[in-house]
Chains A and B, each alone.
Chain A
Amino acid sequence: MSSLWSELERVLGEVQKPARYIGCEDGMTVPDHHPDAVAWLLCYPDTYEVGLPNQGLQILYEILNERSDAVAERGYAPWTDMAAVLRREGLPLFSVDTHRPASDFDVLAFNLSAELVYTNVLECLDLAGLPVRTVERADEDPLVLVGGHCAYNPEPLADFVDAAVLGDGEEVVSEITEVLATWKASGGGPRAELHRLLAVVPGVYVPSLYESTFEDFCDGGAAGRRLADIRPASGLGAPDVVEKRTVADLADWPYPKNQLVPLTEVVHDRLNVEVFRGCTRGCRFCQAGMITRPVRERPAEQVRTMVSDGLRRTGYDEVALTSLSTADFSGIEEVVASTVADDACGQVSVSLPSLRVDAFTVGIAAEIQKARRTGLTFAPEAGTWRMRQVINKLIREEDLYAAVESAYSQGWRRVKLYFLTGLPSETDEDTLGILQMARRCVEVGRRHLRNPSVTVSVGGFVPKPFTPFQWFGQNTEAELRRKVGLLRDELKRDTKGYRGVQLKWHDPRATAVEGLLSRGDRRLCDVVEAVWRSGGVFQEWSEHFDLDLWTGAVEAAGLSFEEMVYRHRSEDETFAWDHLSAGLHRDFLWQDWRDALNAVGLEDCRWTPCYDCGACTGYGIEHVVASTVPPAGGSQGTGQNLGTGGEVPVMLMTRDGSEDGSSKPVSAGVG
């Protein structure tokens, strides 16, 4: 079928931000669709502005389009106004590259980076003209795949997707393409047969080939039904455990080679160069750090080439060196120095989206950000040393204050601090410690500035699969509300003392739903469908989020938040992801959970002996780190004495009432 552009251009005048729907990016491919090519529509189930910069999607887009047996285009969730216009006009979901209908593709592959987008996946399938449930789709309908971090527990979407793909996609997209190309060439057949062919591709999980059983349980306060077992249905050839995919060496994958440059403003609107994948700092709340192990650094020389070529080609004046903790990149200093020195790049700024909390990091930031020193962001994550030992974010207060001192003294005017609340064993003292830290940061700032500003951003903690905290019962919505209230009251109690501190928080209601989907089993499919059918789309957007839709649907399905989100799980509890693997040994995670409760920290394994978590040993791969010594500075895994973390050696000057600045503690937040 041909392009829908002539129909679309008539209605684009009616919708907000029509540039979302036109494509035309620099770097875009106009693929040559032919009958032998497997046609992929790579979908991001959120707006164009959020989805376009996604590097994973762009990497797969290039790899597939380089193949002679595949073509790939991109699609994004139309905003609600556009969805209404499409339905009114009888137009389907379309690709932005050549404006082809989604149903013309062989595969619709969704990137899942957050739980609250799940209902948008259903919305996209429906707009594509497809039944949302796999069993109701015809054999010739496109295959529906999901990947991305949330695909490590795809059970809440089990009834809607044909397969979930675990881990790095670079290699497995080609293997899936080969299966589908052969399938197409042979004339196709029943969907169930295709499922069996896909299930033997390593990293591909086909939910329809697995069966769940449930059991009654009574566990202290909570009672109800829970997952008893999930295993492959017999005789269908699906593996007992689906292992994630890992590319051994990032140097083999210098993608994206032609990063897309959109014509309209998007989030992260800059050149992005991934400097390493994986992280072994071992923060226990962090799913990304656990599931992407081991650390694989890109060679510094390749990073430099990708930065300078990318800047020249795109015309961007900003490049982000991306990873889970970029200051840990062993080539960071030379890459930064050469980028800044590169005249051809003009006035380029480099951003490090994930700063480590120490003065060394700020030093690098100062070197690269000569202009526009507005704000720096750090993530101490918890307000007391005890709490940070529990979560294994081993930042000492002196590191934070040194970093903040360094920032304010070098011209930055705002500091933003990220924290989690609702962490295991958290007390009110820990929660209020957040404000103590912020207050001291303001005091440090006053030595350099009249009105330093510290923004505290607090998010409710959501336990994630394949982390040591997967056994933890999430704080209830009411408890998170109480903790946010505690912080707000404390600010009001001493407005003068907290001058300069601003508080923002993530909506605890959204946290509750994220928790539901994060560790839920396939009984949640009915809930996700019911919420979508009641109009619950774009749930990660505060203007559309509606907790009542979720609580109603959970109740109607005979489930409860208490049983699925808030209760602690026992050591032998069956998880909805027990048949999937990120390489991590369950006993390693359990031991780390016990260590957490004992407030025992664990150093970075890059520079200490192996803990045998399983991520390397299980797959016969290793860390790829250019440097055998840890980077300068930093406190975690760098051989410093972790016993002194609670000390505050920085001398603080107090300047009471000597200022009449207009900056007042303000509590503001979403929700």
Chain B
Amino acid sequence: MRVRIRFNKVGKVRFVSHRDVARIWERAFRRAGVSVAYSQGFSPRPKLSFGLALSTGHESDAEYLDVELVDDRYVAEEAWGASGAAAKDLSEALTAALPTGMCVVAMAPITKGDSLQQAVVSCTWGVELDGVERAEADAWVADVLSREEIVVERERKGKSVVEDLRPQVLSLRVDTESGTGTSGVRLLADLGTQPRALRPTELLVAVDPPLVARSVRRMNQWMSQGADREEPLTVAVAPAPPTTESA
């Protein structure tokens, strides 16, 4: 039974790397006592596949993983139907086995199809800016949107590559709930992920004056564009509020 899981990553745990998140998940399945399929070969590993990597230090409401379950309790179709309790039971068990700041927010069986990395075409980001006034942010956004191209040069495998970021900026605006001073000014951006995901922090420094993010949060991943665009898994209710930590 192939299952897709959506989870969040907020608070202190945002400083854990993508690779560490994978290891946390492997342990979470074992701690929850849920059997997953293992790869064959010399060094068998649990079959977990993750979507687009999230930069270390960024928060997210929309991380995904696909897993092949072989656990008797969860392999039957009916367990996942309207009367079945698989999604609820498993979500609770896994959330209990995950560290503070990581929770399962949605789960559903999937048929074989594109991998998450292939399926996702864009992400919505919330970027809280540091030391920027509302008016400056508005001007910066207008400047970005008015450009036909945003050409940057970057190192890739030791070679210098020239790239236009502008096509990847699908939408960009200042959150209307932002204040007028320098505190709480927030950008909302839809950035493309194909063929290469544009990171919000890359965009912030690609157009003068470069902006600094106080925090970055991935809010959604999308499988298509337009008004009827869909997420890999929709969250029926709003995601749980970030866990408050006794920091």
Q: Footprint of B on A, CB under 8 Å?
A: 3, 5-6, 9-10, 12-13, 17-19, 21-24, 26, 30, 98-99, 261, 263-265, 311-317, 344, 346-347, 371-372
Using known A-B contacts A26-B99, A264-B20, determine if residue A18 contacts B27 with beta carbons closer than 8 Å.
no
> Contact check: which of B13, B24, B27, B42 meets A22 at CB < 8 Å?
B13
Q: Quick check: is B174 within 8 A (CB to CB) of the other chain?
A: no
Given A3-B247, A264-B16, A264-B20; A314-B57 close (CB under 8 Å)? no
Between-chain CB contacts (< 8 Å), 20 pairs: A3-B247, A5-B12, A13-B57, A18-B15, A19-B16, A19-B17, A22-B16, A24-B13, A24-B99, A24-B100, A98-B247, A263-B24, A264-B20, A311-B30, A312-B33, A316-B27, A344-B33, A346-B30, A347-B44, A371-B43
- Docked Cα-Cα span, A26 to B23, in Å, equals 14
CB of B210, distance to nearest CB on chain A (Å): 15
B27 & A264 in contact (Cβ 8 Å cutoff) = no
List 12 extra interface pairs beyond A24-B101, A313-B31, CB under 8 A: A3-B247, A12-B15, A17-B17, A18-B57, A19-B16, A26-B99, A98-B247, A263-B99, A265-B19, A314-B31, A316-B27, A317-B26
Q: Is B121 an interface residue (CB 8 A)?
A: no
Kindly list the 9 A-B residue pairs having the minimum CB-CB distance in the complex, ordered from nearest. Answer: A315-B27, A315-B31, A18-B15, A5-B247, A315-B30, A22-B12, A19-B16, A13-B57, A264-B20
Residue in chain A with minimal CB distance to B43:
A372
Contacts of B19 in A (CB 8 A): 265
A99 touching B27 by the CB < 8 A rule?
A: no
* Residues in B17-49 with C-beta less than 8 Å from chain A: 17, 19-20, 23-24, 26-31, 33, 35, 38, 42-44
Within 8 A of A (CB), among B70-86: none
Would you call A98 and B246 a contact (CB within 8 A)?
Answer: yes
Q: Beta-carbon contacts of B40-76 to A below 8 Å, as 1s and 0s?
A: 0011100000000000110000000000000000000
Contact of B97 with A by CB under 8 A: yes
Instruction: Give which listed residue, A98, A261, A347, contacts B27 with CB less than 8 A.
Output: A261
Complex interface: chain A residues within 8 A of B31 (CB): 312-315
* Closest B residue, CB atoms, query A25: B99
Bound: A6/B43 CA distance, A: 41
For B214, the chain A residues whose CB sits under 8 A away are: 10
Determine how close the nearest CB of chain A comes to the CB of B184; give it in whole angstroms.
16
Knowing A22-B12, A24-B100, A315-B30 touch, does A265 contact B246 (C-beta < 8 A)? no
Q: What residues of chain B lie closer than 8 Å to A264, measured between beta carbons?
A: 16-17, 20
Nearest Cβ on chain B to A167's Cβ, whole angstroms: 34
Bound together, the chains give a CA A174 to CA B238 distance in angstroms of 49
A23, B12: Cα distance in complex, Å = 8
List the A side residues contacting B42 at CB < 8 Å.
Answer: 371-372
> Closest Cβ of chain A: how far from B241's Cβ, in Å?
18
Report the count of interface residues on B (CB-CB < 8 A): 30
Q: How far is the CA of A99 from the CA of B246 in the complex (A)?
A: 10
Least CB distance from A340 to B in Å reads 16
CB-CB < 8 A to B44: which residues of A? Answer: 347, 371
CA distance A24 to B12 in the complex (A): 8
Q: How far is the CB of B238 from chain A (nearest CB, A)?
A: 24
Interface centre among A18, A19, A315, A316 (most CB of B within 10 A): A315
Give complex CA distance A346, B23 in Å. 16
The CA of A30 and the CA of B246, in the complex, are separated in Å by 9
* Set of chain A residues within 8 Å of B24, measured between Cβ atoms: 263
Docked complex Cα distance between A311 and B30 (Å) = 9
Q: Are B12 and A315 in contact (CB under 8 A)?
A: no
B15:A19 contact, CB within 8 angstroms:
yes
Nearest Cβ on chain A to B212's Cβ, whole angstroms:
10
Tell me the nearest residue of chain B to A315, going by C-beta: B27
Instruction: Determine if A265 and B247 form an interchain contact, defined as CB atoms under 8 angstroms apart.
Output: no
Of chain A, the residue at the smallest CB distance from B201 is A13
Question: In the assembled complex, which residues on chain B have CB atoms less than 8 Å from the CB atom of A10?
Answer: 214
On whether the beta carbons of A346 and B43 are closer than 8 Å, the reply is: no
A-contact 0/1 string along B121-152, CB 8 Å cutoff: 00000000000000000000000000000000
**Chain A: CB-nearest residue to B58:** A13
Chain A residue nearest to B11 (CB atoms) is A24
Closest to A23 in B: B12
Q: Return chain A residues, CB-CB under 8 Å to B15.
A: 12, 18-19, 21-22
**Cα separation A313 to B100 with both chains bound (whole Å):** 16
Please, which residue of chain B has its CB at the minimum distance from the CB of A5?
B247
Q: Which residues of B contact A5 (CB under 8 A)?
A: 12, 247
Q: Which residues of A contact B30 (CB under 8 A)?
A: 311, 315-317, 346
B27 touches A346 (CB 8 A): no
Given contacts A317-B30, A344-B33, contact A263 B13 (CB under 8 A): yes
Give the residues in chain B near A21, CB-CB below 8 Å: 15
Give Cα A98 to B245, complex, Å.
Answer: 10
- The complex places the Cα of A533 from the Cα of B100 at a distance, in Å, of 40
Tell which of B20, B29, B38 touches A19, judged by Cβ atoms closer than 8 Å.
B20
Closest residue to B101 on the A side, CB-wise?
Answer: A24
- Residue of A with least CB distance to B213: A13
Once the chains bind, are B16 and A263 in contact (CB under 8 Å)? yes
Asked if residues A315 and B17 are in contact (CB atoms below 8 Å), the reply is no
CB distance from B55 to the nearest CB of A (A): 9
